[in-house]
Chain A
Amino acid sequence: MSKQRYDQLIADLRADFRPQREWGEGRGLFLVIGHFFVGIAGGTWLMGTIYDVPFALVIAFLLGCLGGLAHLLFLGRPERAFGMVRHWRTSWISRGFYGLSLFLVGGVLYLPTQFFPLSGLWTVIGQLGAVLAMLGTVTIIGYMGFAYTASKGIPFWNSPLHPALYIAYAFRGGIAVLLIVAATSGTTAADDGLLKLWIGVTAIVAVFFALELQGALAGGNIAARRSVREILAGRGALIFYGGTLVVGLIVPVLLLSMAMATSPTAMALIGLASAAGDFFMKLSTVKAGIHIPLVPPPRRQRA
């Protein structure tokens, strides 16, 4: 351990508001990257299925692989990852492990049927793969938010809105990837509908995010309020304003407002900016995590 890291750890332990640094800093950054890829993979698979875009399913599968890899790189002992199958009854991390496994296995079984003229038993296997992948999709879209909500030590994350926010972000990510796929493949059939859907989901995401901040400020404890301050004016501020707001919201909205919004280049840029904004949103909320202070108890307070 470097002296700088040790000094920081000691300073954190002495601080009134102790920031969490295990998720989102150093090797912990891989967790945020993993959540970003896995969330966007789930959203892309779902949107690709709805809009029947097989190429988007391939992208979703690859993103899921990258997400899984990032999760492994985050773990302190990745060689023991299969041990995470044990505690699915109470652990959202374990459920996420199942979800991603189902998603990847289902993808391997289903995707060949989309590109090769297979028949007979292969069709059945493909259908089984589709079911597994969809089960995995639903799980991976949902598990991340719940994993944060289960974190009792970080009051800002311990909010019922967090899962809804992550689910909405997964949808937004899926639409973003579909926009990029549509732009690069020259498909324009559903472009207009996709853009309108993007606007609608983005509005929902913005409302959820605002409600979460408002909820933390109005009904949260001092650590939750401090987390909001960290996002708006602390160590997550640059990421929030520059990444989440400017890159993830203002740039796509400006592109949308331009007359050439449905041009392939503009659509691809909207998709890229939107996806990047999603990543920065996740990073800023993770970095804003503050542990509940262990305030000295008042005199003669009874249990």
Chain B
Amino acid sequence: MRLGMVIDLKRCIACYGCQMSCKAEHGTPLGVFFGRVIKSEEGNYPTARQVFLPVLCNHCDDAPCVNVCPTGASYYAEHGIVDIDQDKCVGCRSCMMACPYGNRYFNAESSNYFGDAGPTPYETARSEYHTEGVVMKCNFCRERLAEGKLPACVANCAAKARTFGDLDDPNSTVSRLIKERGGYTLHPELGTGPNVYYLAP
């Protein structure tokens, strides 16, 4: 089994629901976004349009971040998920330089969103899961998967733009969507074998 995600850019309305649900699920520190939405414009008036690109860790088959990690903190977990063992990471950040998708973040220090007012009870509860001085990233919500749930960004996508499933199963919805709609990955030329696919808008 090889877990992967398909994001239909035709359906995405850039509501940032995935970004916010990810933040709520993981309680990530200030400035850390396991999943985010990039907005850009292309073309010129009168044919200009906005383009949305939701991005997250691509859980690559040949992940450069795993190769460069000196401690083995970045590793392949079950079903091809790339995760970080926070107890092994030394915070050298070489994985951040190796990731062609820029989806790793360094948690330099504990911080909260309301400054001098201090952390909210929610932040206090969530921050205990995050170690300072280490790198963090999306793990396809492994803890939710273990409970039989979908990743938070998939479950909370209002436009149903995200589909999650087994890429090794040719009959799965993700495999079918990729085949029928010509799913592609970001920067395939780098040979990293990403497991997040996009369907053209």
Contacts and interface: CB of A to CB of B under 8 A. Distances in A.
27 contacts: A1-B29, A5-B31, A18-B102, A22-B97, A75-B90, A76-B90, A76-B91, A76-B134, A77-B133, A80-B88, A83-B88, A83-B90, A87-B71, A87-B72, A91-B67, A93-B94, A150-B94, A151-B98, A153-B64, A153-B100, A292-B102, A296-B51, A297-B53, A299-B201, A301-B184, A302-B182, A303-B183
Interface residues of B, number: 61
Interface-central residue, B29, B94, B111, B135, by most chain A CB under 10 Å: B94
Interface in A117-148: 147-148
Interface of A: 1, 3, 5-6, 9-10, 13, 16, 18, 20, 22-23, 27-28, 74-78, 80-81, 83-84, 86-88, 90-94, 97, 147-148, 150-154, 157, 289, 291-292, 294, 296-303
Interface stretch (B34-42, B120-128, B145-153, B165-173): B34-42
A1 B102 contact: no
A196 B98 CA distance: 39
A154 B90 contact: no
B186 interface: yes
A74 B93 CA distance: 10
Interface in B53-93: 53, 55, 64, 66-73, 88-93
Contact of A78 (B68, B72, B90, B182): B90
A297 B184 contact: yes
Given A76-B89, A76-B91, A297 B198 contact: yes
B64 to A, nearest CB: 4
A86 B74 CA distance: 12
B68 A150 contact: yes
Given A151-B98, A297-B53, 15 more contacts: A18-B102, A22-B93, A75-B92, A78-B90, A80-B88, A86-B70, A87-B69, A88-B70, A94-B70, A152-B99, A292-B100, A296-B40, A297-B9, A297-B186, A303-B184
A1 B108 contact: yes
Given A22-B93, A77-B134, A296-B42, A152 B100 contact: yes
B12 to A, nearest CB: 11
B176 interface: no
